[in-house]
Structure 1
Amino acid sequence: MSDASKDYSRTFGGEALGARLRRLSERIDRDGTRIYAEHGIRFEQRWYGVLRQLVANGPMSVGQIATALHISHASVSEARRSLEKAGIIANRPAPEDGRRRMLALTEQGHALWDRLAPLWEDFNLVAKELNEEAQDVVRLLDRLDDALARRSMYDRIMDRIADRESEIDDT
């Protein structure tokens, strides 16, 4: 029996797309977590995007970060809470509008960034190597992302359901 036939998700091909993407993401996150732990660094993978935006752009709102990362406001808020609890970021009133909240790196956050920068250079080099080895999987993910932007999974499924129900009504 080949390795592929032992792999339940692989036997379903495209039908297991979401499961395969989650599995790959978990593998990458798990290895990243191991690297941080071996270097005595407490860092959660989900923090990276928020931290990267704050380093690149300075203080930002949760909404601005969500827009920049193309992820939900809820996901950024969840990461924000744990980053604040860890002392890496602070939530402050915006100078121009005290009702609006801005996230900013703390001294501890800047120190963490400086400590992680060399490791992230290695992460980036290895990611490029993996992309080459997988024959430019990033280009294929871009195509998938574009296909979903043209028409969401939700819309595609709802259209199929409507077509099926329409066929039943016609009989």
Structure 2
Amino acid sequence: MKDYVAEMGGAALGARLRRLSATIDADASRVYAARGVRFEQRWFGVINQLALVGPLGVRQLADALGITHASVSETRQSLERAGLIASEADPSDARRRVLTLSPSGKALVAQLRPLWAAFDDAARALDAEAGRVTEALARLEDALARKSLFERIADGAASRI
């Protein structure tokens, strides 16, 4: 059977990125499972920021990670259920939540640091092998910042109608 996504080239950019993300996340999950660690790859950004920076608000985390407030809030709920973080009302604004690592979260981070270093090494080596794809992704992000996909499609559709 043909690989439709590969055949479509740039036209299937979003599908290709989702497929790569799913592959990377699945392998990361296998690494954690092989070591008997209950850790979801989607938690990494929030946990790592809290470990590196300390207590942060949901908006601060969203901005630092370049993801939506809703995504951080969803991750926060999952991390709280797992007992890895705690959240409190922000003393300056009770509508906001400030997140911190729990004692269990701090212990898990300490346990995972060597493994995360191995992840970093593997990712850098993979990026080098693939021809510095992260540089191309940075150019893609810059291009989308200059003109969104929405705008590009709207302009293209207007010229076809």
For 1:24 and 1:89, how far apart are their aligned partners in 2?
Answer: 29
For 2:86 and 2:119, how far apart are their aligned partners in 1?
Answer: 27
Partner of 1:36: 32
Partner of 2:132: 136
Q: Aligned letter for 1:124?
A: D
For 1:26 and 1:14, how far apart are their aligned partners in 2?
Answer: 19
Give the alignment partner of residue 19 of structure 1, picking from 15, 21, 24.
15
Say whether the 8 Å CA contact 2:29–2:40 is kept in structure 1: yes
Partner of 1:78: 74
Note the C-alpha offset of 1:26.
0.4
Partner of 1:111: 107
Q: Which runs of 5+ in 2 are unaligned?
A: none
Deviations 1:81-134 (A, max 9, x none): 100100001111223444432011000000110111111110000001101100
Q: Aligned letter for 1:140?
A: A
Q: What is the total number of aligned residue pairs between the two structures? A: 161
> RMSD of aligned C-alpha atoms?
1.3
Q: Aligned letter for 1:34?
A: R
Taking only the aligned residue pairs, the percentage that are identical comes to 55
Q: Which runs of 5+ in 1 are unaligned?
A: 166-171
Say whether the 8 Å CA contact 2:84–2:101 is kept in structure 1: yes
Q: Secondary structure at the match of 1:130?
A: helix
For 1:158 and 1:41, how far apart are their aligned partners in 2?
Answer: 46
The answer to whether structure 1 residue 63 and structure 2 residue 59 are counterparts is yes
Comparing both chains, which one has the higher relative contact order based on Cα–Cα distances under 8 Å and sequence gaps of 6 or more? 2
Note the C-alpha offset of 1:79.
0.6
Partner of 1:91: 87
Query: How high is the TM-score relative to the length of structure 1?
Result: 0.90
